[in-house]
Amino acid sequence: MRRLFLLLPFFSVLVYAQAIDPASKTGYKSINDANLKVNLTILASDSLEGRETSFPGQKKAALYIAGIFKKLNLEPIGDDGTYFQHFDIEISRVHPETKIVIEIGGKKKSYLWGTDFISEGARDTTVTGPAAFVGFTDAELDSATQAKLVGRVVFAFIGTKDYANDTTKAATLRRLYAIRHDVGAIATLMIPDEEGPATFQHAQQMMRDFGTDKGIMRMKNNMPHVQPSGIHFLVSPALAEEVLRSSGKSLKQLKNEALQIKEFTPIFIDNANVTIEAKVIRETKQTENVLGFLPGGYPDLKTQVVAFTAHYDHLGKNRDGVVYPGADDDGSGTTAVLELAEAFAKNPIRPKRSMLFLTVAGEEKGLLGSQYYVNHPIIPLNQTIADLNMDMIGRIDTVHQAYKDTNYIYVIGSDKISLELDSLLQAANAESEQLKLDYKYNDEQDPERFYYRSDHYQFAKNGVPIVFFFDGIHADYHKPTDTVDKILFQRMGKICRMIYDLGWKLGNFNRLLIKKSTKE
């Protein structure tokens, strides 16, 4: 629940301000739709191949962004006097030769990774053992039964029994990502639904749409790679049926029994032997954040910065060569950072504080670029008054589409660390574009967990006040259809002007923001 801000001593002054600071007007008026379209059309073009972190398209995007920063005469404060902050990442992916071999009655049948079973990761190993079926992921077993699973390959239906028929998006994701671990079992093979949203085919598509079918990316460091503690695959119902029917019952019969019987008794299938031959490919690559610095105009405050952030990476191409252009996610936010950089650079009067324009890589892989920056900040985090993060600001979501309402923006996190930041935001909006500031997702407990899902979170967890600007989820989210022709540039311009005004206020605020007590 959002707090009342009436107790803040300066609130009434801010809310009823009716005009932007005349000193900022040149930059404010310079923000235009045509310029936004030019930059976004390039960033989301096929030639940049979806800007996947560490791939050629992302490198081209980095050079393009750096070129704009150079044209604007922003200071290069990255590595060796460049606009780049480099870091190493490691990519691990399941080898395409990984397979599962089922042997029943002396006859063997092979199943292929990617076609018959999938996972986001694996370990280099070969294991063999008889099968067992325990019911659902949450099946509780007594110690004697648990001991019988040692050395076996365990099959289980995804998710908890009580939510087996829940088809909501949140429940579907929880079920598809459910993992069971039985001490002593050599592997766990999860069985998805045969129909509905939680099917094997849906899981395959979801992995393609999030790029995880191509492997897992993590920050490279000096610590040795730790192999996953167990083997977990999501298998097709056809593969599961091949094994489980050896028990004398079909997959459908076993599912009905597991649902209906309160204390389902596991089935041990000694006449079905399962061999898993897993291999992993690993490679180390380099990527980079791109940042430009505009010094502030006041000697006592120019060591402090307002950070404007967006991730310029996206999903690249899928295994079939289809490009995911990422026009809204997050070409729109990246383009906004470039436009804001130009607006502040064009304004003849500088804010008292400096401005940091930071576009990061690796967000789609786990907020890697922003993680690297906060661990290696160019400007100390305790001198960063706030981070204004833009991730998807060029479209409208399905809720607002029904009403053709474009005059809104979801605001997340603005009151989490500093109540003053939210008040400054409301004042900037009131005197500029008067958008509807929608706080629907401003809750750490929201099922979508957007507060944790973009680069602002790396700043927030390190105590930097943040605002996350977001347009919501639409039908083209993480799809090849997230294209430039669907971007609402006039809407983007309004959002940029509002953020510009907020950045100006932060740049000239007479001190760092007061933070909420950690006891609240």
Helices (H), 10-142: 11-15, 25-30, 33-43, 56-71
The residue type of 460 is A
Start-to-end Cα distance in the chain: 13
Write out the E strands in 143-241: 153-157, 187-191, 216-219, 232-235
Quick check: helix, strand or coil at residue 117?
A: strand
> Is 46:60 a contact under the CB 8 Å cutoff?
no
- Backbone angles phi and psi of 38, in degrees to 5: -60, -50
Per-residue pLDDT of the chain (520 residues; tens, 9 = 90+): 233 333 333 333 344 445 899 999 999 999 999 999 999 999 999 999 999 999 999 999 999 999 999 999 999 999 999 999 999 999 999 999 999 999 999 999 999 999 999 998 888 999 999 999 999 999 999 999 999 999 999 999 999 999 999 999 889 989 999 989 999 999 999 999 999 999 999 999 988 888 888 889 999 985 555 555 679 999 999 999 999 999 999 999 999 999 999 889 999 999 999 999 999 999 999 999 999 999 999 999 999 999 999 999 999 998 889 999 999 999 999 999 999 999 999 999 999 999 999 999 999 999 999 999 999 999 999 999 999 999 999 999 999 999 899 999 999 999 999 999 999 999 999 999 999 999 999 988 888 999 999 999 999 999 999 999 999 999 999 999 999 999 999 999 999 999 999 999 999 999 999 999 754 4
Tell me whether strands 466-470 and 384-390 are parallel, antiparallel or unpaired.
parallel
Distances (CA, A) of 171 to 160, 268, 316, 404: 10, 29, 28, 29
Supply 126's token pair.
């070969």
Supply 37's token pair.
């379209």
Q: Which residues contact 474 (CB under 8 A, 6 or more apart)?
A: 328, 395, 396, 397, 398, 401
> Given strand 99-104, what is the order of strands in its sheet?
107-112, 99-104, 267-278, 125-136, 153-157, 187-191, 232-235, 117-118
Burial class (CB in 10 A: 0-12, 13-18, 19+), 300: exposed
Q: What is the pLDDT of residue 393?
A: 98
Q: What is the pLDDT of residue 519?
A: 47
Q: What is the pLDDT of residue 247?
A: 94
Query: What DSSP character marks residue 266?
Result: P
Q: What is the pLDDT of residue 15?
A: 41
Task: Please tell me the pTM assigned to this model.
Answer: 0.89
The residue type of 485 is D
Q: Tokens 């099946």 belong to which residue?
A: 139
The residue type of 417 is I
Q: Which CATH number fits domain 96-278: 1.10.3470, 3.30.70, 2.120.10, 3.50.30?
A: 3.50.30
Domain ranges (residues) in the chain: 11-90+286-508, 96-278
- Backbone angles phi and psi of 392, in degrees to 5: 75, 90
11-90+286-508 sits in which CATH class?
alpha beta
The DSSP code sequence of 487-514 is: --HHHHHHHHHHHHHHHHHHHH-SSPPP
